[in-house]
A and B are shown apart, each in its own frame.
Chain A
Amino acid sequence: MNGRLIEAAETLNNEFVRQWKEDGGRVVGYTCSYAPDEVFHAAGILPYRIRGYGAQETTIGDTYFGPFICSLPKCMLQLAGGGAFDFLDGVVIVPGCDSMRRLDDCWRKAGEDMAGVVPPFFFHFAVPHKFADYTVNWFEGEIRRLIEAVERHFDVRITVEALRVAIAAYNRGRVLLEELERMRRLPEPPIAGAEALSVVIAGSAMPRDAYNDLLEECILDLRAKTRCLQGRRRLMLVGSASDDTALVRFLEGDRALVVADNLCFGARFHNDRVDDGVLDPVRALAERYLRRSDCPRMYGDYRRRLEILTDAIQSASVEGVILQNIRFCDLHGAENGLFERDLEARGIPCMRIEREYGPLVETGRLKMRLDAFLERIDGKRRTA
C-alpha cells in the first residue's frame, strides 16, 4: 500500500499541498463532489476537497451554526476557524444540502470575527436538483460563471484545450478508480475497505496527475499481492458523507471487510466519464456532473439509486449493508429507510445507524450493534 496516498488522505495539509504551495501554486477548496475539479485543473489551480477530518470539537462551529445541524459542516468550520485551511486561496461552497449551504453564511460571518479565516476567493456554486435539458443548460451557465470568476480573481485563462487536458486527466483517474473498485470486490480482495477509502480520498487532496501515477502504482502493487483478505463478512457502507477511515477500520475490525461503498467521498462518483467527444467541454462537464444523481439531493431518483446499490451488492457479493447517516442528515437518513425496506425485502440484511461525524465517540454503542449484525450474517451463512 502506498504510504504517500495514505498520508495524503489522513493529513489535511499534506506533502503534496505543501509542495504545491512552495512552488507558488494556488489551492481552491470545495465542499461537495458536484464541483467540477476539471475547471481548477485547467486553471493551473489545485482543487482540494474540504473535509472536517481531525476536528476534535465544534466550539467554533456551534458559535455560528444552530444546534440542529449536521456535524460535518460544523467540523469544517471548526478547522477553518482554527487555521487548518489557511493554505486555501479560495473556497467554493456547493449547496449539496441545507447544512452545507449554510456553511457559506457561517464561514463568512466567522470571518467578520476572526481575521484571515475567509480566503480571498469565496464562491457560491449552485447545482440544480434534477436532470433535464433546461437544468443542464442552467448548470452549464453556472460552470461558465465559475470559470469567469476564477479567471478574473486569479488572473488566469481557462482555455478549451486546457479543459480537454483536465478532462482526460480526471477520466484517467476514474478508469483507475474503477479498477480499484473491481479489485475490492474480488472474492479475496487485496485491499481492505479503510485503505481503499484512503486511496480514493487522496485523489481529492493532491494534484491529479501525480495522483494518477501513484494510483497506477498502487493497483500494480495490489495485483502482485499474494496474501489477500479471506473469510471475512462482506459489507457495503452506504449513506452520509464519510471521509473517516477510522470509522471504516472500526467497522471492519478483524471479522468484516467493506468490499463496496456508496459514499460521496468514496466510490460513488467514479464509475462514469466526462464525454471527451463533445465539442464543448463545459457542456460535457455540465452533463456529467448533473447526470450523476447518486446523491439523494437529486430528488425523485430513488429507484435508480436502489438499482446502483443492488448492482454493487451483487457484483461484490455483499452479505450485509450498513446504512449510516450523520444526525440531522435527513436526505440520507430518509433514503436509508427506503433502502432498508427494499433491500431487506430482497433478502439483504441491513443495519441502519445514525451517528455524529468526527471523532469516534460512540464506539461502544456501534460495536454492540455491529456485533449483532455480524452474528445475523453468520446465521444467514449457516442456513445458506
Chain B
Amino acid sequence: MRRALREYNFDWMLYSTYDAASKLMAGTEKEYAHTLRYIPYFRGMIDAVLSTGEPGLSFVRTCAEYLKNIVTARERGRKVAITSFCFSPVIFYAMDITPVCLEVMSVFLTFTYRRGSAEFLDFCNEAGFTETSCSSQRGSLGAYLAGIGVDIDMVVTDTPGVCDTNANAFAFAAEWLGRPFFQLDMPPLLKGERYDRYHRDDYRALVSFLEAQTGTKLRAERLAAVLGELRKQDGLIAELEEMGRIVPSPLPPAFTLMNYAARFLFAGMKPCTDMLQSMVNAARENAARGASGLAGGAERLRGFFCYIDHYTYNMRMWRMAEDLGVCLQGNILSRNWSIDAPHVRENHMEDSAYSIDMTDLDSMIDSVAIMNSRMPMIKSIRGPFDAPDMWLEDTLSLARMYSADFVVYSGTPGCRNTWGMVKPFARETEKAGFPTHIMYSDAFDDRVQSWEATRARFEEFLRVRRLLV
C-alpha cells in the first residue's frame, strides 16, 4: 500500500467525504455546480443521488451518519464489530455495538475514488489472503488489516453454508487481527422445524457471544424498540416494491441501491425509516402523475439484476440505466422477505418469509433469527440453485412479477457460490423466456474488466437480443 494512503485514517477519510457531500445542497445551485467540477470521480454519484431530491439528500446524510458512528465509536464507549451486508445489524443496534459492514465500506470507496479499493484489495493479498477471494470484503478489509481504520473488537458473520469466500474473509480477519470470531451457520434448506430450530439455537449462541463481548445483557425493551422501527421499514419497503410494479415505474434507478443500502446501514434505526419514507413520498408523487422515475421520462426496458449491481465509480451503472432508458427492477439485495412484501404475497411464499413477534424477549430473538436467515443471499444462495426457495425460484418469480424484459448476472470472480452454477442457472432463465446476460466483470474492481468494456458488452447483449434497437 502506498505510504500516502496510509497517512489517511480510512474511516475519517470516508466520513469527511460524505459529511461534506451531505452539505453540498446547502449552498446555491451555482455553488453546487461549481463544487462538482472539483470532484470529477465522485460527482456522477453525487449528482445521480442528489438529483432524486430529498431521498437522495437523506441517503447521503445517512451514509455520513453511519460513518460518523464509526469514527466516534471509541469516544462513545461502543464496541465495534466488522460484519457483512447480509447480516442484519438490528442486533448490534439493540446492544449498542457499532457495526462496520465491510461490503458497504468497499462500495463507499469504489463509488468515491477512481482508484477504487485497489490498494486495499492488494494489501489483503500482501497479508496472505488469496487474490481469488471476493473483492467486496477485501476492498475495505485491507484498511483494517493495515491498521488505518477503527480498532475492531469482534468479527461476526453469517455466511458459512452460503458463501465460502465471504465467511473465509471474516475468519481470516479475526485471526489476523487477533479478535474474537462468531459465525452463524446456514444449512442448505430454509424451511421446516429442523431448520428453524437450528437457526434459533445458533442465534441464541450469537446473543451469548455478543453479551460476553459487551459485558451487558440483551434487554427486551431495546430489542423491541429496534424491531418496532424495523416493522415500519418493512411496511415502507413493501410499498416501494409494490410501486415498482407500475409501468412505467415511478422509482428512479438509484432507489434500488438506496433501498438496500438503507437497510444494510441502519435497519431498525430512525435514519433508515426517514430515508425510506422520503423515497416512498417521492415515488408516490411520480406514481400519481404517471411519471417514470427515469430522468429522461421514457421507460424503454425493464431489467432485473438477479445477483448484485456494479459499483464502479461515479455510479456509472445507474447512469447507464438512465442513458438507455432502462428501469432497474432491483436485485437479490433489494428484496425484503417480510411477510408483508408484495412478492411474498403474490407468489404465496408466506412460509418462506419472516414475521416479527414482539410478545417477549424469547419470541423477539426467535423472530430476528428467522429474519436473519432470510437476509439477501443468505436466504436463496444456500442450497442447490433450483431447489424450492432458492435462487432460480426467487429470480423467476421476481422477474415475472416486475415484468422484466431481461435478466443480468453481475458479481465478482470471488463469487464461488454463484459462478459455480451460473451457466445452468442462465440456461433456466433463458428457458423461462428471459434473455440473460452474464457480466464477467468484478462489481468492486474495475481492473478485472473496465467499466467501458462491461458496458459495451451489456449494450451488445441488448442489441444482439433485439431488446434495444
Interface assignment of A283: CB less than 8 Å from any CB of chain B: no
Q: How far is the CA of A333 from the CA of B421 in the complex (A)?
A: 22
A residues less than 8 Å from B181 (CB atoms): 299-300
Least distance between B184 CB and chain A CB atoms (Å)? 10
Closest chain A residue, CB of each to CB of B169? A334
A residues less than 8 Å from B170 (CB atoms): 299
Interface assignment of B353: CB less than 8 Å from any CB of chain A: no
B residues less than 8 Å from A70 (CB atoms): 416
Interface assignment of A337: CB less than 8 Å from any CB of chain B: yes
- The answer to whether B172 and A99 have CB atoms under 8 Å apart is no
Chain B, interface size category, equals: 35 or more
Quick one: which of A94-131 are within 8 Å of B by CB? 95, 97-99, 101-102, 104-106, 108-109, 124, 126, 128-130
Interface assignment of B163: CB less than 8 Å from any CB of chain A: yes
Quick one: given A300-B181, A330-B414, A338-B175, are A66 and B420 in contact (CB under 8 Å)? Answer: yes
Q: How far is the CA of A337 from the CA of B169 in the complex (A)?
A: 12
Q: Which of B53-61, B198-206, B236-244 contacts A (4 or more CB under 8 A)?
A: B198-206
Interface string of B389-426 (1 = CB under 8 A from A): 00000000000000000000000011111111111100
- The answer to whether A337 and B183 have CB atoms under 8 Å apart is no
Q: How far is the CA of A128 from the CA of B169 in the complex (A)?
A: 18
A residues less than 8 Å from B383 (CB atoms): 124
- The answer to whether B205 and A134 have CB atoms under 8 Å apart is yes
- The answer to whether A129 and B185 have CB atoms under 8 Å apart is yes
Quick one: which of B179-210 are within 8 Å of A by CB? 181-183, 185, 187-188, 194, 198, 201-202, 205
Least distance between A35 CB and chain B CB atoms (Å)? 15
Quick one: given A68-B414, A338-B128, are A97 and B164 in contact (CB under 8 Å)? Answer: yes
Least distance between B438 CB and chain A CB atoms (Å)? 8
Interface assignment of A67: CB less than 8 Å from any CB of chain B: yes
B residues less than 8 Å from A95 (CB atoms): 161, 188
Interface assignment of B176: CB less than 8 Å from any CB of chain A: yes
B residues less than 8 Å from A134 (CB atoms): 198, 201-202, 205
Interface assignment of A328: CB less than 8 Å from any CB of chain B: yes
Closest chain A residue, CB of each to CB of B391? A105
Interface string of A280-291 (1 = CB under 8 A from B): 000000000000
Quick one: which of B356-411 are within 8 Å of A by CB? 383-386
Interface assignment of B106: CB less than 8 Å from any CB of chain A: no
A residues less than 8 Å from B183 (CB atoms): 129-130, 299-300
Interface assignment of B133: CB less than 8 Å from any CB of chain A: yes
Interface assignment of B17: CB less than 8 Å from any CB of chain A: no
Chain B residues at the A interface, C-beta cutoff of 8 Å: 127-130, 132-133, 160-161, 163-165, 167-172, 174-176, 181-183, 185, 187-188, 194, 198, 201-202, 205, 383-386, 413-424, 427, 440
Chain A residues at the B interface, C-beta cutoff of 8 Å: 63-70, 95, 97-99, 101-102, 104-106, 108-109, 124, 126, 128-130, 132, 134-135, 138, 141, 296-297, 299-300, 302-303, 325, 327-328, 330-331, 333-338, 340-341
**9 extra interchain contacts, Cβ-Cβ under 8 A, other than A126-B161, A334-B169?**
A64-B421, A68-B413, A68-B415, A108-B384, A109-B427, A129-B160, A130-B160, A330-B416, A334-B171
